Structures are given as C-alpha cells and as structure tokens.
Structure 1
Amino acid sequence: LIVLFLVVVSLLAYWGVLGNHEWLSFVGSGLSLISVVVLIFNGLFPRVMIANNSAYSLLIKNSSNSPYTLHLMTIITFSILPIVLVYFIWSYWVFYKRLASPKQNA
C-alpha cells in the first residue's frame, strides 16, 4: 500500500513538473520523500538498528527513554515544529517569487 502511494505521488510530482504546476510538484515530491522514510521504517520495525547477531540488534522497546524524557521531547517538538513549518513555507514563498520567470512578449 505504501509502495502504491509512493508511485502515485511520484507521478503527481512528475506531472506537476511537466505541466509547470509548481505547487503540485512541490507537494508530490514532499510526499514522495515522506513515503520513502515510512517505507524504510516500516521495513525495519520493530528493530531500530540491525546487527549481524540478532542478540545485539536494537529494538524499539530496548531503545526508548524514560517517560519523563519522552514527555519533555514531545513538548519541545510541539513547541519548535510550528516555527520550522512556518519557515519552510515562508522560504518556499520567497524563492517561488525569485525563480518565477517573467512573461516574455512575442
């Protein structure tokens, strides 16, 4: 299912590039990248790091922190993530205006 989604959003990104639809290609390539990351971690689950000897592989259960640390990391993530997303959208908007070619008269 993830592979099918990856193919669909990659084709959307490709169609956006061919049709000069910048927003569609931007969203399609972003979703393609997210799909690849989900696919990799889905294949690794429940392992975080795979070792040659399975006794030394890191599992999610063995690699997690204490509840206090996880709570603190969640608060920090929810505090900083909106700033990162706003900066990401702002930088796209700034560079979209700079890279847009002016209309040429024939």
Structure 2
Amino acid sequence: MVTTYITGTMNSLISTLVKRLKQPSPGSPVTNDKMRGFIPFSTPVLQATMLLIYLFGAFMNGLIAFTQPSLVLLLPGMALIIVVVRAVSHALQQRR
C-alpha cells in the first residue's frame, strides 16, 4: 500500500509539472478555456515535499532498525499518534 501512495505522489508531481510546461504563456494568443479555470488540488512544491518526507521517514526508520531494532515502530507510531490527535482536534473544531 505504501508503494501505491509513493507512486501516486510521483505521478501527480510529474503530471502537474508537464501540465504547467504545456500551458501557453500568459501573453500567448492561443488559450485553453479548460486550463484557464484549472486549479490543481496540490502544487508541485507540496508533492515534492511529500516525496522528501517519505524518503526521510524511510531513512530514519532504516537507521533506527539498524541501530536500535527494538525501537523500529517508534517513528511510525509517533506519526500515527500525531495524525490521530490532529484529526480529532480538527473534528472538534468543525463542530463549533
């Protein structure tokens, strides 16, 4: 499942970059009405940042597994706790 997310993020990043390269320049007489209103869900910077976070997480988990095998679940466990706490706090804010 993890490789699906990483591959999807890489595909989204490359797709977004290609779309931006294919867009005509602002002064160009040829415009595409569909592209004019297009706002991507995420930016290439966000997608590239996510890839770097994936790589950093993999590196840190590898380092922990090599040096302290008993702590290998520490980093993913902390990340899971942060996500759950953030989701609960967001849900509580939405109720107000």
Taking structure 2 as the reference length, the TM-score comes to 0.42
* Higher fraction of strand: 1
Identify the structure with bigger relative contact order (alpha carbons < 8 Å, sequence gap 6+): 2
